Amino acid sequence: MDSTDNLLHRLKELNEIGIALSQQRNLNSLLETILVAAKRITHADAGTLYLHEPEQRVLRFEILRNDTLNTAMGGTSGVPISFYPVQLYDEAGKPNHAMVVSHSALSGETVNIPDAYEAEGYDFSGTKKFDAKTGYRSKSFLTVPMRNHENEVIGVLQLINAQDQESGAIVPFSKDDQQLLESLASQAAIALTNRHLIDQLEELFEAFIQLINTAIDDKSPYTGGHCARVPALTMMLADAVTRTQTGPLKDFVMTEKDRHELKIAGLLHDCGKITTPVHVVDKSTKLQTLFDRIHLLDTRFEVLKRDAEIAMLREVVDADADVHLAETARQEYAARVAQLDDDREFLRRCNIGGESMSVEEQERVRRIAQYQWRDSDGKTGDFLSSEEVENLTIRAGTLTAAERQIINHHIDVTIKMLESLPWPRHLRNVAEYAGGHHERMDGKGYPRGLTREQMSVQARVMGIADIFEALTAKDRPYKKGKTLTESLTILGKFKLGGHIDPDLFDVFIREKVYLDYARQFLAPEQIDEVDLSRIPGVNQATALGGRDAI
């Protein structure tokens, strides 16, 4: 091949390299591609790619390759580079121009040396020690700075020992080699800078999401960590579905892009709670507003007991010498005080909230509400207001229907917020994934009443993650975190009731996702021994095919 054809071939190869660099998304692979391509187009036997660390004022070894010595370090090789970084300045702050690579970084100039052993003006003592130790002969050097769009040196490419294509002899790097490498270094710097900018934007975006989640979790000490635990469990289950080899979901796969998209959706699944009022989010008892109003009821009970005492004393006085009437009045008073004390303790228990309040208990609250008492203004009225009765008769939890609706509205806000964002193509499903975690497979969920067929697998995964996190969470105001057995029992009932995806539940059980999550996030006393034969909805045949049970 003549020199013209050879040059055209190398220019074509350089163009192909530029295209490959623009498509590379992984930073380590990108750096390795740069060095390997540089060696190939210049026929170099060895080379090193250094990255500039401005704050430390050093050049860090990033990728090192030597074909003769069969050495591959850094990048995707898995072999770390143990060499110390190249100092760009000495202890006095004086620039280090003695070494070729540091001079190129500091000056921004290309350095082409035909023979290091004959070159003057540079310190090659380290190179000569390396050669003496390994038996290698470092001769020709080509060192090119990598400049970004702001003309800043972000790294240095250094190639060693150009080889003649026909004889294989070590020769100096030609002017064509130098021009090609300078062109490649320019393209590489652009690709590397773009990759850094994309990575930084993604890091900034995720940091901003974490900022929002921190603000949401900090609104209440009872939900702290929810926004972090749900996405963690979501990814655990999604990865389990990806690796499953049996069942209806055996063909489900996720690429790294898909995983990133689901992770972002998980982190943003409750972003609408940023608008939920604090007094609702933080309502730890049924009567809580700005404070727990149970203390007002204590005062009213004391008023009733005072009135009962006054009435008893009057009856005793009116009885005069009738001992029997006086004793009866005292006994009735004692019974009345005992009843009031019992009622007060009952309302205190009701106020705490729970997972189930019986009809009989609700009726008792209403009976107590009809007691009459006189307030500080002398007005007589019912012992409990209608609003207090509504709160104290809440069947489960601490929220009224209206307050529950306020909480539920967060998913509408979440969807509205996420659908309003100009998502790039690789994140276009975030709103759908995040917005579906309160839907049900039978279409009875909210906010859109979607059925299983109308939802993606990822959205259904997030629904299970949100429920299981809530069941096991140990920071709720009205309950303690459930054990694994209790949580799986409820989850199994949800499967049978059409609430959650049955196939995903099977994977959740078979792959022991619940156990992986428990070991990371649950208290030791919550991790009990699970007997899968007693869990509703468990497919015993498929459950036995999973990993060993606890």
Which residues span the domain enclosing 250? 224-273+402-543
Note whether 387 and 526 are same-domain residues.
no
Report yes or no on 13 lying in a domain. yes
Q: What percent of the chain has pLDDT over 90?
A: 59
| 438-460: average pLDDT | 94
| pLDDT higher at 421 or 23 | 421
| 387-405: average pLDDT | 90
Residue 225: closest CA among 475, 483, 463, 399: 475
Using CB atoms within 10 Å of the CB of residue 484, give its burial: 0 to 12 exposed, 13 to 18 middle, 19+ buried. Answer: buried
Note whether 282 and 475 are within 8 A (CB). Answer: no
Residue type, 192: L
| Cα atoms in the 13 Å half-sphere on the side-chain side of 254 | 24
| Cα atoms in the 13 Å half-sphere on the side-chain side of 441 | 18
Report yes or no on 548 lying in a domain. no
Question: What's the chain's average pLDDT?
Answer: 88
Segment 145-159, tens digit of pLDDT? 988 878 889 889 999
Flag whether pLDDT at 530 surpasses 90: yes
Note whether 29 and 133 are same-domain residues.
yes
| 415-422: average pLDDT | 92
Q: How many CB atoms lie within 10 A of CB 280?
A: 20
pLDDT at 549 (0 to 100):
45
Segment 79-100, tens digit of pLDDT? 999 889 999 999 899 999 999 9
Note whether 231 and 267 are within 8 A (CB). Answer: yes
Note whether 267 and 328 are same-domain residues.
no
To 5 degrees, how large is the angle CA 65–CA 69–CA 75?
Answer: 25
Note whether 142 and 246 are same-domain residues.
no
Note whether 357 and 395 are within 8 A (CB). Answer: yes
Note whether 413 and 448 are same-domain residues.
yes
Segment 29-73, tens digit of pLDDT? 777 888 888 898 899 999 999 999 989 999 999 999 999 999 999
pLDDT at 13 (0 to 100):
65
Which of 398, 425, 452 is the last residue in one of the domains? Answer: 398
**Count of domains for the chain:** 3
3-class DSSP assignment, residue 71: strand
Note whether 35 and 169 are same-domain residues.
yes
User: For residue 420, what is the domain's CATH number?
Assistant: 1.10.3210.10
Residue with tokens 């070894």: 61
pLDDT at 469 (0 to 100):
94
Helix %, strand %, coil % of the chain (to 5): 55, 10, 35
Residue with tokens 């995040």: 434
Report yes or no on 288 lying in a domain. no
Segment 181-234, tens digit of pLDDT? 888 888 778 877 877 888 888 889 889 888 887 887 777 655 667 888 999 999
Report yes or no on 341 lying in a domain. yes
Note whether 268 and 315 are same-domain residues.
no
pLDDT at 279 (0 to 100):
78
DSSP string, 289-326: SSSBTHHHHHHHHHHHHHHHHHHHHHHHHHHTT-HHHH
Segment 294-323, tens digit of pLDDT? 999 999 999 999 999 999 999 988 887 788
pLDDT at 542 (0 to 100):
63
What residues contact residue 458 under an 8 Å CB cut-off, 6+ apart? 238, 262, 265, 429, 433
Note whether 20 and 97 are same-domain residues.
yes
Note whether 384 and 524 are same-domain residues.
no
Report yes or no on 207 lying in a domain. no
Which of 363, 398, 433 is the last residue in one of the domains? Answer: 398
Note whether 348 and 430 are same-domain residues.
no
Which of 163, 198, 233 is the last residue in one of the domains? Answer: 198
Confidence of residue 1 (pLDDT cuts 50, 70, 90): very low
Note whether 99 and 10 are same-domain residues.
yes
Report yes or no on 212 lying in a domain. no
Report how far apart, in Å, the C-alpha atoms of 390 and of each of 23, 287, 340, 347 are: 61, 10, 21, 13
Among 298-307, 394-403, 482-491, 500-509, the minimum mean pLDDT is found in 394-403
Flag whether pLDDT at 548 surpasses 60: no
User: For residue 148, what is the domain's CATH number?
Assistant: 3.30.450.40
Note whether 324 and 362 are same-domain residues.
yes
Flag whether pLDDT at 416 surpasses 50: yes
| 530-549: average pLDDT | 75
Confidence of residue 550 (pLDDT cuts 50, 70, 90): very low
Report yes or no on 208 lying in a domain. no
